[in-house]
Amino acid sequence: MLAASLAVVTVGSVACDRLPGKPPPNPAPVISVATTAGFEIMWAERCSGCHGADGQLGAGLPMRNAEYLNAVPDSDMFSMIRNGVPSSRMPGFGGDAIGGVSDEVIRDFIKGMQVTWAQGDASNDSLGLPWRAPDAPGDVSRGATVFAAKCAACHPAEQAAPTQRGSTPDQLIAGSVTDPFYLRLVSNQHLRSNIVFGRKDLGMPGAAGPFRGPDGGEVTGGLDAADVADLVAYLASKRNTWPSGPEVEDGEP
Ligand code: HEC
Ligand code: HEC
């Protein structure tokens, strides 16, 4: 009873003290996004829908991957989060974006992501290959050869319908990555990042392998820098193999 009347008195006096529009004297403490607690709030609001609630198992590349986070240069991470990835579904969260956050918050958010997910994982799926693609373009026909030898068994161009696959479908047989419509949705960097770092969350090996040969058997031996560049060049060469009209941006008639 006493507590209830005190509460009313307090609220009343605050209300009388303040001019309309004057900010409250003690704003609620804001948790910095440079800490795990603050980072998790912003991740849940802005990233989890596409990159997974837990930083993995989303449509976008998992960020809960220490090797990946340590390999992406800070300046690239900053510009992708601030400005998005052009011609892809990755939106920008800073700059002129509606509800955009300041550059300072983005920098803190990257720190928060690092303290939360970039520590203590000694895996070497990438064999130390850099995140960024080399300037020289890869060799398309060599890429086709590597793809047939190491990737096609898991990424067939066409798949039998589930009912024709028998009672124990192989969970690792993944979608086509040579389909032009898929390729138009993603950038070459997205292809490279998947090939170099893999997707542990979904069973996609990184550059270290192991891969799968045309007979379905395991193929050991990792990819080197030229293999990755050639694979990306080969996949990219498939992007425009299906004729279509000019691309139309969202909202255009
Ligand atoms: C053991 C099976 C396996 C092998 C071998 C494999 N992949 Fe994958 N790959 C997967 C799975 C599973 C996924 C994730 C599910 C999906 O995207 O369909 C994936 C995802 C990908 C993606 C990302 C697709 C997306 O989400 O945008 C690319 C690109 C890719 N693989 C390329 C390759 C290339 C190139 C090779 C050969 C160097 C390769 N994969 C070898 C199983 C495999
Ligand atoms: C609407 C879905 C969506 C949201 C929301 C989203 N992303 Fe993305 N993100 C994507 C897609 C799609 C890509 C792949 C773009 C491409 O093709 O390169 C991507 C790519 C990225 C990449 C580059 C991956 C690489 O190495 O190729 C990073 C880093 C990234 N996102 C971080 C974030 C962070 C951090 C947030 C939250 C602040 C976020 N994303 C929110 C969809 C999203």
Residue with CA nearest ligand 2 atom 41: 47
The b/e string for 16-40 (b: 16+ C-beta within 10 A; e otherwise) is: eeeeeeeeeeeeeeeeebbeeebbb
pLDDT at 87: 83
Spatial distance between the Cα atoms of 101 and 5, rounded to a whole number of angstroms: 40
- SS3 label, residue 70: helix
pLDDT in tens, 69-101: 999 999 999 999 999 998 888 999 998 888 899
CA distances from 47 to 61, 62, 250, 253 (A): 11, 10, 21, 29
For residue 219, the cross-strand partners are 211
pLDDT in tens, 95-145: 888 889 999 999 999 999 999 999 988 889 999 999 999 999 999 999 999
Spatial distance between the Cα atoms of 169 and 184, rounded to a whole number of angstroms: 28
The residue ranking higher by pLDDT, 242 or 240, is 240
Locate the ligand 2 atom nearest the alpha carbon of residue 192 and give its number: 27
CA dihedral 87, 129, 33, 95 (to 10 degrees): -30
> Residue 16: is its pLDDT beyond 70?
no
pLDDT at 203: 92
- Ligand nearest the Cα of residue 175 is 1
Helix axes 188-197 and 225-237, enclosed angle (nearest 10): 140
**What's the pTM value of the predicted model, to 2 decimals?**
0.87
Residues with CB under 6 A from ligand 2: 46-47, 49-51, 60-61, 63, 77, 80-81, 85, 88-91, 93, 186-187, 189-190, 193
Domains and CATH numbers, the chain: 36-117 (1.10.760.10), 140-237 (1.10.760.10)
Residues with CB under 6 A from ligand 1: 147, 150-151, 154-155, 172, 174-175, 177, 186, 191, 194-195, 199, 202-205, 211-212, 231
